[in-house]
Every structure is written in structure tokens, then in C-alpha cells.
Structure 1
Amino acid sequence: MSSKKEKPLHSLVAGATAGAIEAFVTYPTEFVKTRSQFGGKKEGPLTIVRNTLKVQGVKGLYSGCSALVVGNSIKAGVRFVSYDYFKSGLADSEGKVSPARSLLAGLGAGVMESIFAVTPSETIKTKLIDDAKRPNPQYRGLVHGTVQIVKQEGIFGIYRGLFPVMMRQGANSAVRFTTYTTLKQAVQSRARPGQSLPTSVTFGIGAIAGLVTVYTTMPLDVIKTRMQSLEARAQYRNSFHCAYRIFTEEGLFRFWTGTTPRLARLVLSGGIVFTIYEKMIILIGGRDV
């Protein structure tokens, strides 16, 4: 992010727009990643895509998409507003943020987004994807699925897996923003004062941030998916029990199941989100000079 301060409302609008576009563009990779992390027979990404297209067609790759688009839009808005707020409070007199302080600001942003947006949308999305692979799906879409989940499990049904989501999002935002901010400040230090970075450079820095994020937070993502599946209540007492069972019954490398599709998504996600965010902020004049 820039050392200049973004206005909260504009940061929210730019972040929400970037999040919605990114979620729709990259959703098939999220679908494949989520399907590969469920228990049972292990399937490779290409097998999942082939079987889904054969049975459900292209729309099958977008099962649960609306939940993620809505949730991702809110999530990105909350993430950028929260990060800008924490970052401005931790910046030095010149507006620069050290890697350690950026890590702290990102952690705070991740916790905020997990509570207000990610957990409900991820839980609903995961259950819709899990349900879609059944012979007779019980959910007819986002609204019907949400109503049924709340009716069957109560309001806490859409907050299942809150702890692993908070851990994952906190780690995600901390690693992603720290990597992005550090790389951007390094590149800007070599540029002329006041010069904007080219779109290709912004996209590349965001993509690298996504790459680093994937490998460092993948185990938390797997635990999150398992805790939000339809069978979670019958199989796991809590997140630690879930992690223990995965490790003892399926092995250490199971924690990195779904890395390839998640890597594809977060590399694209990092590039798309940061690029669109920066362009939107400039377009709507949301940055204080």
C-alpha cells in the first residue's frame, strides 16, 4: 500500500469492488480446492474438474459462487479499511510502515474480516459445494441454502469454524500485506518521487504476495474446510481434534491438499485485487495527498 492515507469510505468501495471481481474470475479454482480438501477418496484437480463438467456442466464449477462473491466483496472491503486503519496508526512520521508493523496491521485486518465476512460466507460456500456433490442435493442456491442451514443448525451454523478461519485470515492478511507492502516500498524507493507504479508491476507484486501466502497458511485452510463440511459435527470435536485426526490418519502432507488450485487462485487473486484496488482508489479520488 502507499504511504498516503486512503479515505475509509473510498477504501471500502475500492476493496469491495476488487473483491467481487476477483472472486468471480477465480472461483473455479476455489471450487476445486475446496472439493479436494474433503475427507474420503482423494481426487486430483483435473479429475475433479472432469467429473464435475461431466455430471453438472460448467455451472457445476460455480456451485456456491454467489456466497463467495458476496462474502469476498464484503471481506475485501473490511480488509482494506481495517488494514488502512491499523497501518495509519502504526506508521512512522513519514508514513512508512516497517515489516513488523505491517504484519501486525495485517493480522488485525484478518481477524476483523473473518468475523464480519469470511466465516459466514466460507461456511455457506463450503456446505453448498459439499452438498452439490451428493446424488440429491438439498440446497437450491445461496438464499435457500442459508435459510436451511440456519433452520437446521441455528445462527451459529454459519459461524462454524470461526477459530480456524480467524487463524487462517489473520495469517493470510499478515503475510500478504507484509509481503506486498515490503516489495512495493522497495520498488517505489527506486522510482522517481510521485511516480505511480505500472499495472504490470502492481500485478506482479500482488501475485508474489499470493504465492508466499499459499505455502505458509495452507494447513489452516485445510482445517477450516474440514470444520465447515457437512460431516464436521459428527467427526471433529474442535479444530485441534480435526488437525490431530488429519495428521494421524492421513499424514502430514494432507495439510497441503489443494495447494495447486489455491496457488492458482491466490496468485491471480493477489494480482487482481491489489491492481483493481489501486486503480479504483485513483479513479474515485480516495487517497489523501
Structure 2
Amino acid sequence: MSTNVNGGGRKPPSAATNLIAGGGAGMMEALACHPLDTIKVRMQLSRRGRQPGMPKRGFLRTGIEIVRKETPLGLYKGLGAVMTGIVPKMAIRFTSFEWYKQLLADKKTGMISGKGTFLAGLLAGITEAVAVVTPMEVIKIRLQAQYHSMADPLDIPKYRNAAHALYTVVKEEGVGALYRGVSLTALRQGSNQAVNFTAYTYFKEWLRKWQPELEGANLPSWQTTLIGLVSGAMGPLSNAPIDTIKTRLQKTPAEPGTTAMQRISRIAKDMIRQEGIHAFYKGITPRIMRVAPGQAVTFTVYEILKEKLERSGPAALTGERYEE
């Protein structure tokens, strides 16, 4: 199935529009879904599966334990790192996706194939992973992995906040530590956005065909939310093992004389030997519960803000020339 990169004659959004609309959408998504991400990370780092006789801890119980031992604020550990990177992350995601689509589309007809849309999403995911996501996630995971109680002033954590974690990691491990797991992060983000954007684009195109009266206008918000939710759930199901290995790799310091690929291989082998194949899917439930509604929020808010900016924003936001 081919789609028109210009959305039926409408010009693609400018970089400024993507910066504001994507950044706003990302901030809303982070605030709404970060607790589920913290639960997911704790489940992926859990070693309870290695201990015979220990009951498995599901996402609800994990969340309750975090609140009980670390207060509700414990669910928001690492949020500062996410909020710092969310605006450039979303701006890069939407801007690069549009740019790659224009590059891969037929120059005469403006049409792009399904494979082209998939490749544009893949490249957009890799771009955001290298530029923003990997350093942001290293800091976020270090903060989320700390089991200290935020209610006890005497329980002093190693990393006090995102800025302190960034300073400490760079000081103790070097700048390279911020890019630990970059290959896995790029693979995860690339596959996520490839599946996500392709599904969302197709669903959006089908809904427009069924509702010709919406030609040239945005879909209703409830429809954008629904297709964002469905497309958002597809990525985690396709790359859960990658995300779990990445989380464990980024949580620990580097080992002298050991390459990243050697550590990835060892982590994977240890997980299979000690915890079984199911360990690769630890945290899959909260990850879907976090990513799917997160994408629903992202696409819905992005489409709303983009439309408002294109209707009333200055020429710099719409990409048009201003005329009296």
C-alpha cells in the first residue's frame, strides 16, 4: 500500500512545528506513563527468577512494592532525565521521519511505498537513538535501578538526580559510558518506530478512505488515540528481548578488556541458563501498558498541536512565506 508524503496536497510540517508539537506531545506522554516505565525496568532487572522457590512478582506487585518501600515518588525516578531529552527526542523523531519519507518517495508522484515508510521509520528510530535516547536512557536506568527510599533522608542514593547522575557517570566511567548499549538501543528504537509509523500511517490512510468527508482535515482525536494505541503495542511485542538485554547492559559499569558484544552475549547466555527464555520477556506487560498508551498520547497531542500551529502559527512554523 502506497501513501502520499504530502498528505493529500498538504505540505509536510516544518522542523519548528515538529519541535513544538513533538516536544509537547512527548512531555505529556512522559508525565502520564513514566511510572509504568519504572516498573518495567525493575522487572527487567529482577533476579528473583534465579532463586528456586521464590514467587514471581508481576507488574502490579512490583509497583506496590516500590510505593510501599520508596513512596509514590519512587515511581518517578529518572523522570528528570526523560524530561530533559524528550523535546529533542520527539523533534528529531518526527522531523527525521518526514525528511526520510521525502527522500524515499517518488519525486514525480509524491507517493511512498509501504517498504519506504517502514525504512523511514527505521532510520528515524536509529537517528533519535544515537542523538538523544541512548545517553538519556543510561541516566534514567541508573536512577530507576536505585532501591533507596525517597522518604528517608538518611538513605542517601549514589545518584541524587539526573544532573548528578550524568556528572557521576562521566567522571567515573567516561563519556563513552553514556553510549553503552547504543547498538541495542538503535535496534530497539529503529524497529519500534518502523512498526509504529508504518502501522499508524496505514491505519490513518484507511480511516481517511472510509471517511472521505475528512479530506484535508485531521481525524477526530478519539480515532487518532485508538490507532496510536494499537500501533504502539506492536513495537514492544517485536523487540522485547532486545530491550531487556539493553536495560541490563546499561545498568552496569563497563568491564575492562570486555567488548560490548561479549557482554551482550554473556548477558543473553546467563539469562537463558539461570532464568530461562521467559526472562527475555520480563516487563513485557508494563512495557506494552507504557508504550501503547504513550504512543496514543503522543500521536493525539502531536496532531492537535500541529494543526493549531499550522492554522494560527507564524510563517516559521508552517514553512510558508508571510504575505500582507
Could you say which TM-score interval applies, normalised by the shorter chain? over 0.9
In the TM superposition, what is the alpha-carbon distance from 1:94 to its structure 2 partner? Answer: 4.3
CA contact (8 A) 1:281 1:287 kept: no
Return the match for 1:44 from 58, 70, 80: 58
Per-residue deviation, 1:276 = 0.9
Q: Is the 8 A contact 2:18 2:90 kept in 1?
A: no
Inter-partner Cα distance in structure 2 for 1:288 and 1:278: 17
Following the alignment from structure 2 to structure 1, what is the Cα–Cα distance between the partners of residues 182 and 195?
20
* Map of 1:123 onto structure 2: 138
Q: Write the distance in 2 (CA, Å) between the matches of 1:74 and 1:112.
A: 11
The answer to whether the 8 Å contact 1:179/1:209 transfers is yes
Structure 1 contact 68–125 (Cα < 8 Å) conserved:
yes
Give the Å deviation of 1:97: 2.8
Secondary structure at the counterpart of residue 164 of structure 1: helix
Greater Cα offset, 90-99 or 77-86: 90-99
For residues 65-119 of structure 1, what are the alpha-carbon distances to aligned partners after superposition, in whole Å with 9 as ceiling and x for unaligned? Answer: 1111222332111111110100112223444432211110011101110111100
Give the one of 28, 33, 36 matched to 2:35: 28
Map 1:63-212 onto structure 2 (within 5 A): 63-92=77-106, 93-133=108-148, 136-192=156-212, 193-212=215-234
Residue deviations 1:172-206 (CA, integer Å, cap 9, x gap): 11111111111111111222222421000011111
Q: C-alpha distance in 2, partners of 1:287/1:244?
A: 51
How far the C-alpha of 1:233 sits from its partner, in A, is 4.1
Question: Which of the residues 291, 294, 301 maps onto 1:266?
Answer: 291
Q: Which moved more, 1:134-143 or 1:265-274?
A: 134-143
Between 254-263 and 49-58, report the one with greater CA deviation. Answer: 49-58
Change (3 A) 1:185 1:2: farther
What is the CA-CA distance between 1:136 and the residue it aligns to?
Answer: 4.7
For 2:254 and 2:167, the matched residues in 1 are separated by 19
Structure 1 residue 12: Cα displacement: 2.2
The structure 2 residue matched to 1:13, chosen from 11, 14, 20, is 20
Could you tell me how far apart the structure 2 residues matched to 1:232 and 1:108 are?
28
Aligned with 2:159: secondary structure? coil
Q: What amino acid is the match of 1:226?
A: R
1:287 Cα deviation after fit: 5.3
| Structure 1 residues 197 and 2, CA gap change in structure 2 (3 angstroms) | farther
Structure 1 residues 203 and 233: CA distance shift in structure 2, 3 A: farther
SS of equivalent to 1:194? coil
Alpha carbons 1:218, 1:255 under 8 Å: kept: yes
Q: Deviations over 1:33-62 (max 9, x none)?
A: 001001411432122211211122111110
1:257 is matched with: 282
Q: TM-score, normalised by structure 1?
A: 0.93
Give the gaps of 5 or more residues in structure 2.
50-56, 150-154, 311-316
How many residue pairs end up in the alignment? Answer: 289
Answer yes or no: is the 8 Å Cα contact 1:15–1:80 preserved in 2: yes
For 2:68 and 2:111, the matched residues in 1 are separated by: 52
What is the one-letter code of the residue matched to 2:306?
Answer: I
Identity %: 32
User: C-alpha displacement at 1:243, in angstroms?
Assistant: 2.2
CA distance in structure 2 between the aligned counterparts of 1:264 and 1:89, rounded to whole angstroms? 34
Matches of 1:133 and 1:244, distance apart in 2: 30
Q: Decide whether aligned partners of structure 1 residues 287 and 205 sit closer, same or farther in structure 2, where only a CA change above 3 A counts.
A: farther
> Closer, same or farther in 2 for the Cα pair 1:196/1:36, shift >3 Å?
same
**Hey, what's the Cα distance between the residues in 2 that align with 1:185 and 1:208?**
15
RMSD: 2.1
Amino acid at match of 2:285: T
Q: TM-score, normalised by structure 2?
A: 0.83
